[in-house]
Structure 1
Amino acid sequence: MTHTHPPGETIGMRVRTVSDTLLTGLQRRLARGVDRHLPALLSRNTPPDSPALWLALDLTGLHEAAESGLNEQAYKQAATAVTAAAQIWARTDVPHARTSAQQPTTLGAVLARVARSRTSAEDDLARALRTHTLDEVTARLRPLIGQARPLGVSLDYGLLAADLDAWQFPGGPHRTGQRWAHAYTKAKALANRTASSPTADRKAPPA
């Protein structure tokens, strides 16, 4: 089936919100010992476009992006993106947290942290950016994101889900890759500036 042109930001925002709500709620329930079967279900080698997974995750909230609900193709892309992001979450054990100015958890910021401890991570990111299908890019991203686990950082899987939704449109890999490259280099430059700046606790010179 031929894809239509990308919709407005409304669907992308809904994808992010649904993913954020899903994983925030699931992390809270897991902390109470509830719904432990879901991470195991998401860790199986099941394609993210599996309707059985969509039902298990209850992705009905995606239809709130449109007054009359999403059409079949738009829902398929959005549900696949949310599920793919949730599968990466389950398989890497890197927790979800919304990004903020105080705690940037975008993909670019997280991978910049990884690259500081493993220089070959940038080459791995470049390989991911040369992929064209959703399956290819998620397969490349999983081990990269997994390397963030020992660093104790979180990732905004809501933003990642929105990007994976955009990835599925014509020209999506190129535009999304540009966005990831921009975020990565910006985070890397900020980290370099921070590392080279004077320490905050340096004593002021005498008056």
Structure 2
Amino acid sequence: MIVKKIPAGVYEANCFILVDEDTKEAAVIDPGGDAEDLMEAVEKVGAKVKYILLTHGHMDHTGAVLQLEERYKVPIYINKKDYDLMKNGEYIYGNIGKIDKFLNEGDIFKIGNIEIKCFCTPGHTPGGVCFLAENLVLTGDTLFAGSIGRTDLAGGDFDTIISSIKNKLMILPDEITVLPGHGPQSSIGRERIHNPFL
């Protein structure tokens, strides 16, 4: 699997492009801004975008969705709880237009021979999710290297995010690489030992 990380937008949210090496099918996760740069990265690896997947609805993770959807004509997936907040005009939530595909616990997306599994991890937002692909977990703003996502924004809840991390992420093997929504990568094992919130 080819993994491209592009810190995008003013908040440098990590956008990840996952590409199956054989078929070049790809998923774009959290395109937060700098749409031209993201599309250039897709073209450089010769990827064929199949899905746009969103870990949550904040604008720094959704800022380039409309441009990518217009270019690639692919479905956009987000959890319904975050989409409802976006529709209701919560100021920190982005605008991604009309969605008719919602993420649910256990959903599996295939790019070539690679399976990307969705699991719900509310706390940073009510509809936050993470994605597991081979030996990687893409955690959005749920878990960072040495920290966790903010819970003081609309829809956030500290007890809920801690429960999500402990019950969904910390049950994964130590060697799983953590690809967070901001900052450097980590591993489940490293966070289990060194993350002060856990």
Asked whether the two chains share a fold, i.e. TM above 0.5, the reply is no
TM-score w.r.t. the length of structure 2 is 0.29
Normalized per residue, the structure richer in helix is 1
Q: Which has the higher contact order (CA 8 A, sep 6+)?
A: 1
Normalized per residue, the structure richer in strand is 2
TM-score w.r.t. the length of structure 1 is 0.28
In our comparison, the structure showing a higher alpha carbon Rg is: 1
